[in-house]
Amino acid sequence: MRVLGLSDIHNDIDYLKKLPFSSVDVVIMTGDIITYESYMNELKDFVSDALFIPGNNDPINFCSFYTCVNKKRVDIGRYNVVGLGFSLITPFNTLNEMTEQQFQNELSQLKELVDKNTIFLTHNPPYGIFDYVNNLHLGSKSILSFVKNTKPRIHMFGHVHELKGFKQTDNTLFVKLPPPPYYTLIDVDNLLVTFHKLDYF
């Protein structure tokens, strides 16, 4: 199964026009796709369907546009997708933020949904994995603990714009999705990740 992974688009419609939607089986978006509701209809013109979790900036009713997997599980063939949106508290007082304790409480409700064939989505990174910017770890210890304990096949996340990358740890492939101008292709069967840069400015 081929996945197009997107995150932190922040209303960049020109970016969406260039993406290879027809070459993948499923589109997954890990939040901060739009900031203003006025972009919602325009976005639908380019991305007809996707699996989605909200970031810390997405309007809540954005979930009605796509298949929202926030606190849910969706089965896709022999794989499944489980997600938890929002971010840890930021200095910017954005729409959708939670404390570390709130993340822990929400994640405890998802444990039975995750198995070895799960693609697990969060907006916030796990602590210590592609989360270190300006001498600060922006990741969640609760998310890291959850992934270590449940061992999903893949954990995809965004939020930290400055970083991208992937690493295999134990039984889980961690994939930090970058913002535009990059997009990410993931071969779920073979656990292969490639980053691609668009030239559209």
Domain range enclosing 174: 2-197
What is the domain count for the chain? 1
Does this model's pTM top 0.95? My answer is yes
Show the DSSP H helices in the chain as ranges.
Answer: 13-16, 40-46, 100-108, 141-150
What letter represents residue 75's amino acid?
D
**88 Cβ contact partners less than 8 Å away, ≥ 6 residues apart:** 97, 98, 99, 100, 103, 124, 138, 140
Q: CATH number for the domain including 91?
A: 3.60.21.10
Distance CA 67, CA 125 (A): 21
Q: pLDDT per position in the chain (201 positions), as tens?
A: 999 999 999 999 999 999 999 999 999 999 999 887 777 778 888 888 899 999 999 987 777 778 999 999 999 999 999 999 999 999 999 999 999 999 999 999 999 999 999 999 999 999 999 999 999 999 999 999 999 999 999 999 999 999 999 999 999 999 999 999 999 999 999 999 999 999 976
